[in-house]
């Protein structure tokens, strides 16, 4: 089982010294990956379904991943997740390819649709279009990353007669991991993704999601170049070796742990990383 750490760009950790300490601990303690969280804006005053307070600090994912590329040597670096409908796919493809180069091929591209209407209103993007935009944006970025003469003709994005260099280090491109726990997200993962990511799930919820992915796979012809669909989960509660085995038995390949623990913000996060590494036998 691959073990990741979620949220190194958020809250009191969103400072250079804190981020550096967290990323060093993640790497030193044998974790496989570190992941950002993302909300471009927060609703003020907070109202459902927004999950964050208006003053919650969240560094931009691209900036945070660039920092992490320089601060680490081994671990993979994941966006968990980029709200892709809120991004220009041509600009984002350039940014992510650059991170893959700077990290020497360690990027994991996690994307999703988002679920807070007010965030889309602030960015001038119709909320009802978010799913269609994400599916199309994935393929537009894939064209820029893989085609000798990139061209794309979509509903939201069209281009030809251009180049976008550098290309990613990973071939054909960094893995694209699609988040979300709806039938539409399962379908999108099967049709467009290298993997799928479920957030804050217990064993029962994970089993239901994996069944949903299997159902989608029966109805959709998965493109052969995508290969097998990997499954990543951020689990609920404290994870021990028995729980790791139970998730593994479901077909989960990566657990991305959400920090909880004791002490001050940085000490709490480092303590969580060290405790998890010892508990799970990573070091």
For the chain, which domains are there?
2-280 (3.20.20.30)
Please report the pLDDT score of residue 173 as a whole number: 98
From CA 168, how far away is CA 159, in angstroms rounded? 19
Which tens digits make up the pLDDT trace of 80-130?
999 999 999 999 999 999 999 999 999 999 999 999 999 999 999 999 999
For residue 255, the SS3 value is strand
State the Cα–Cα distance between residues 136 and 261, nearest whole angstrom.
40
pLDDT at res. 283: 82
Task: Tokens for 99, please give them.
Answer: 């991170």
Ordered alpha helix ranges (H), 114-167: 117-123, 130-146
Predicted local confidence at residue 16, as pLDDT: 97
Q: What are residue 153's DSSP bridge partners?
A: 158
Q: Give the CA angle between residues 212, 216, 217 to the nearest 5°.
A: 115
Give the per-residue pLDDT at 263.
54
Residues of the chain with pLDDT under 70: 261-264
- d(Cα 131, Cα 184) in Å, to the nearest integer? 8
Give the angle 216-78-72 at the CA atoms, nearest 5°. Answer: 155
């Amino acid at each position: 089982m691959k073990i990741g750490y979620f949220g190194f760009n958020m809250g009191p950790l969103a400072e250079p010294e804190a981020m550096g300490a967290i990323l060093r601990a993640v790497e030193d303690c044998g974790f496989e990956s570190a992941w950002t969280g993302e909300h471009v804006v927060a609703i003020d005053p907070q109202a459902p379904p927004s999950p964050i307070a208006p003053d919650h600090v969240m560094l931009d994912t691209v900036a945070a991943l660039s920092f992490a590329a320089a601060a680490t040597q081994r671990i993979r670096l994941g966006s968990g997740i980029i709200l892709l409908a809120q991004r220009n796919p041509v600009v984002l493809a350039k940014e992510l390819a650059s991170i893959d180069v700077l990290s020497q091929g360690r990027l994991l591209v996690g994307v999703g649709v988002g679920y807070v209407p007010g965030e889309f209103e602030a960015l001038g993007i119709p909320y009802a279009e978010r799913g269609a935009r994400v599916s199309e944006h994935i393929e537009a970025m894939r064209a820029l990353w893989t085609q000798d003469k990139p061209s794309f003709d979509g509903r939201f994005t069209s281009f030809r007669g251009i180049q976008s260099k550098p290309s990613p280090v990973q071939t054909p491109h960094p893995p694209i991991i699609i988040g979300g726990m709806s039938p539409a997200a399962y379908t999108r993962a099967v049709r467009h993704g290298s993997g799928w990511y479920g957030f804050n799930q217990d064993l029962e919820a994970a089993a239901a999601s994996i069944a949903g992915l299997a159902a989608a796979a029966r109805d959709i012809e998965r493109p052969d170049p995508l290969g097998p669909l990997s499954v990543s989960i951020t689990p609920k509660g404290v994870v021990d070796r028995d729980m790791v085995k139970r998730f593994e038995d479901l077909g989960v390949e990566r657990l991305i742990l959400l920090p909880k623990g004791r002490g001050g913000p940085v000490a709490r996060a480092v303590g969580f990383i060290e405790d998890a590494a010892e508990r799970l036998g990573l070091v």
